[in-house]
Every structure is written in structure tokens, then in C-alpha cells.
């Protein structure tokens, strides 16, 4: 079987999707599949760097004018084209009769374009782009969803034909596991974390990561005696100024540590040393940090909504994200059972293996080829 993986534009600020595409290619190679990765080449996009304004439109030239003819030509030599991110779903419209599989990580942007997410209003161009993506998803021979929650959204919005979708949880993109204390100390000292107990948060600045809620829950936690000396460590992009200023105003300025971007081993050290991963997302497609933390033996507290509850299984604390005081109370009440939850989390993380992921994708490829599915007419 020959599979062509379509990855994201190299200049896009979507590191998780770049890691996912590379994981997918490597895993398929290990499974004996003849696989190649193709993605738009930055030409016009190199004229001006950035993630908005004129640089965004220059990137669109690379992605939507220059890349499609190359993609269609390369696709002729493969059995299946696998588009690794639903954000590139419109490429199914450019493949002729070549069968395509699309991984749908979430439907958040599409739902925003349809007016279902008032917290994330889109401009006209954003709505147009997401409707174009939705047209592409509907044309795919098979849509693989990361979680059951994402699949429920897809079934409701996309109304695909029966058998045209499946759920395949994504594997860890790095072999996360507990780091020994000596190595961890060296890395944490270098990151400025030190030896004080800390609550960890990992994530982007996207609206659904709910940084205002994160700050309020941390503030409420500090009011509990158990967490009175805890620091708040932010790994990755810095908090928005308004959130950081609010924490400062509440007297937590000295508790806040922002490491900036970290590599996988530094992140493993942060997970391994944290007393708690606090992940109060409003919505997710999957929620990689939940499983990463569990794999490192870190207690996880996250929102009591799918897919967080689906991904974390029996190895996490779940709280009502709309009630900061209630969330802190829930976490404090579960604190005495943290070692049991940590053990359950370690066990839960073993579900997300590369072998299981690739088995799911291979089933999708075979289903498409055996059925002879071709792009659906609109």
C-alpha cells in the first residue's frame, strides 16, 4: 500500500500538527507502509514572516494556488491520500478521483464559522475558509476523528454516509515517562522553577484554553491551606498580559513562573516534577497534555466535559470549569487520593500507543480501498 500524507504549511504556527504528521509518517514506515510526506513549499510566504496580515495572504498563495497542482500530480502515484489535519480538508476537492482520508482533530473552527461558538466569532474570510474546509471534509472517502466527541460533532454537522468515519485516538508524539529526581532537578533549576511545589499548565493562548479560568482556579487553590505555598508554572507561550496582571493584582506575581518554549525533555521534567497539571479547557479536540502528564506520573485536574473525560479516563480529577471555587474544592477533596489517581493515570496513558493508532488508520485505508470509495459528489 502506498500512502501520501499531506502535512501543514511549514510556516504555520501549528507545532502540534507538524509533530503529528511526522509521528504518522514514522509510524507508518515502521509498519512497512510505503509512505511519503508532502506539504506546501514556502515561496511567497518567505517574503514576510508572521502569522497574520500580508504574511497570511502570501501563505495562501503558496497553499492554495501553487500547491494544489503539485499535490494532484503526486497523488497519482499513491493508493490513498491522507490529509493529516482537517484544516487542510479543502485539498480533497483538488484530488480528482483519488480516495482520501482526513484526520479530524476537532470541529471547533467549523462550529465557530457556523455560529455555534459565540466565544470565538470569525470574520467573513474566516467563515468562508471554514465552510470551504467543511465542503472538503464532506468529499473525503473517510474521516478519522481523534475522539468520540469530535466524531459526534462531525456526524451532526457533516452528515457523512454510514461507515465513512471512525475514531482513532492519537498516540503520544514522544516517549513521555517519569524522569528521575537528579536529572529533573538539573532541568528545573535551569528553567527557573526551583524546588518549591508547583501547579503546571501547558497549552497555547487560544481562547478555549481558558487562561482567565486557569488564573481564577489557581487563586482559589492557594486559599486552601494545602496549596498555600504552590507556584504556577506556565510552559510554552506566555500568558496574556491581562491574565498575568490579574495574578499580580491578587498577590501571585512572585508565584508565577513562565518558562517560554521548552523541548520534549524539559517538558518531561516539568510533568514529572509537578504536583498537578491544571488543564481547564473549555473545549478540545483531544487534549495531548492530559495523556503526556499521566505518562510522566503527574496528577491531572481538568474540565468535566468531553473529550477531556474521555481522554483522561479514570486517572484524572474533573471539575466544573465555570465555578473556580468549586473547582478548587473538588481538587482539594481528591488530593488525599492522588497516589491512586496517579497510578490510574499511568495505566490510562498506556492506551495511547503508536501501534493502536496505526492499526486504526490501516483499517480506514483498507476500508476505503476495499469499498472502492471515491470522492462524494456534492
Residue 88 falls within a domain, yes or no? Answer: yes
Q: How many domains does the chain have?
A: 2
In this structure, the answer to whether residues 305 and 339 fall within a common structural domain is yes
In a domain, 377, yes or no: no
Residues found in the chain: 378
- Same-domain pairing of 33 and 155: yes
Note whether 74 and 94 are within 8 A (CB): no
Distance, CA of 317 to chain centre: 20
Q: Domain for residue 360, yes or no?
A: yes
232 plus 153 within the same structural domain: no
Q: What are phi and psi of 71, to 5 degrees?
A: -60, -45
Domain co-membership, 211 together with 91: no
The boundaries of the domain holding residue 302 are 181-349
* Whether residue 188 is found in the same domain as residue 82: no
**pTM of the full structure:** 0.89
User: Rounded to whole angstroms, how far apart are CA atoms 360 and 77?
Assistant: 23
In which element (H, E) is residue 157 found? helix 148-158
Domain contains 130: yes
What is the pLDDT tens value at each position of the chain, 378 positions in all?
A: 999 999 999 998 778 889 899 999 999 999 999 999 999 999 998 887 766 678 888 999 999 999 999 999 999 999 999 999 999 999 999 999 899 999 999 999 999 999 999 989 999 999 999 999 999 999 999 999 999 999 999 999 998 765 699 999 999 989 999 999 999 999 999 999 988 999 999 988 889 999 999 999 999 999 988 898 999 999 988 999 999 999 999 999 999 999 999 999 999 999 999 999 999 999 998 999 999 999 999 999 999 999 999 999 999 999 999 999 999 999 999 999 999 999 999 999 999 999 999 999 999 999 999 876 555 555
Give per-residue burial for 42-79: e unless 16+ CB within 10 Å, then b: bebbeeeeeeeeebeebbbebbeeebbeebeeebeebb
Residues 312 and 195 in one domain: yes
Residue 145's CATH number: 3.40.50.2000
**Is residue 378 situated within a structural domain?**
no
| Alpha carbon distance 170, 352 (integer Å) | 7
Same structural domain for residues 161 and 141? yes
Does 10 share its domain with 120? yes
Distance of CA 233 to the CA centre of its chain: 20
Indicate if 18 and 121 belong to the same structural domain.
Answer: yes
Looking at the structure, tell me whether residues 150 and 268 fall in a common domain: no
Q: Are residues 344 and 219 in the same domain?
A: yes
Place of cell 516539568: 270
Amino acid at each position: 500500500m502506498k500512502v501520501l500524507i499531506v502535512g501543514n504549511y511549514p510556516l504555520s504556527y501549528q507545532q502540534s500538527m507538524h509533530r503529528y504528521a511526522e509521528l504518522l509518517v514514522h509510524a507508518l514506515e515502521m509498519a512497512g507502509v510505503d509512505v511519503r510526506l508532502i506539504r506546501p513549499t514556502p515561496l511567497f510566504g518567505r517574503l514576510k514572516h508572521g502569522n497574520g496580515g500580508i504574511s497570511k495572504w502570501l501563505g495562501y498563495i503558496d497553499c492554495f494556488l501553487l500547491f494544489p497542482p503539485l499535490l494532484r500530480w503526486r497523488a497519482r502515484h499513491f493508493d490513498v491520500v491522507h490529509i493529516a489535519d482537517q484544516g487542510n480538508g479543502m485539498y480533497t476537492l483538488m484530488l480528482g478521483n483519488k480516495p482520501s482520508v482526513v484526520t479530524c482533530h476537532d470541529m471547533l473552527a467549523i462550529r465557530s464559522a457556523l455560529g455555534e461558538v459565540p466565544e470565538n466569532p470569525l470574520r467573513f474570510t474566516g467563515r468562508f475558509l471554514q465552510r470551504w474546509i467543511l465542503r472538503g471534509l464532506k468529499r473525503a472517502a473517510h474521516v478519522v476523528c481523534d475522539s468520540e466527541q469530535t466524531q459526534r460533532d462531525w456526524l451532526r454537522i457533516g452528515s457523512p454516509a454510514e461507515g465513512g468515519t471512525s475514531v482513532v485516538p492519537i498516540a503520544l508524539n514522544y516517549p513521555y515517562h517519569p524522569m528521575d529526581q537528579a536529572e529533573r532537578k538539573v532541568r528545573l533549576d535551569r528553567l527557573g522553577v526551583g524546588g518549591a511545589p508547583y501547579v503546571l499548565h501547558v497549552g497555547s493562548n487560544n481562547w478555549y484554553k481558558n487562561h482567565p479560568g486557569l488564573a481564577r482556579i489557581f487563586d482559589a487553590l492557594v486559599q486552601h491551606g494545602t496549596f498555600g505555598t504552590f507556584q504556577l508554572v506556565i510552559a510554552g507561550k506566555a500568558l496574556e498580559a491581562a491574565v498575568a496582571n490579574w495574578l499580580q493584582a491578587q498577590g501571585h506575581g512572585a508565584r508565577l513562573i513562565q518558562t517560554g518554549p521548552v523541548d520534549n525533555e524539559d517538558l518531561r521534567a516539568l510533568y514529572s516534577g509537578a504536583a498537578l497539571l491544571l488543564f481547564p479547557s473549555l473545549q478540545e479536540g483531544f487534549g495531548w497534555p492530559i495523556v503526556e502528564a499521566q505518562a510522566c506520573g503527574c496528577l491531572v485536574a481538568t474540565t468535566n466535559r468531553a473529550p477531556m473525560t474521555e481522554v483522561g479516563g479514570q486517572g484524572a480529577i474533573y471539575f466544573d470549569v465555570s465555578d473556580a471555587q468549586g473547582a478548587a474544592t473538588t481538587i482539594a477533596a481528591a488530593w488525599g487520593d492522588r497516589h491512586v489517581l496517579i497510578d490510574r493515570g499511568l495505566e490510562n496513558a498506556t492506551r495511547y500507543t503508536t501501534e493502536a493508532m496505526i492499526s486504526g488508520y490501516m483499517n480506514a485505508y483498507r476500508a476505503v480501498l476495499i469499498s472502492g470509495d471515491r470522492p462524494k459528489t456534492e
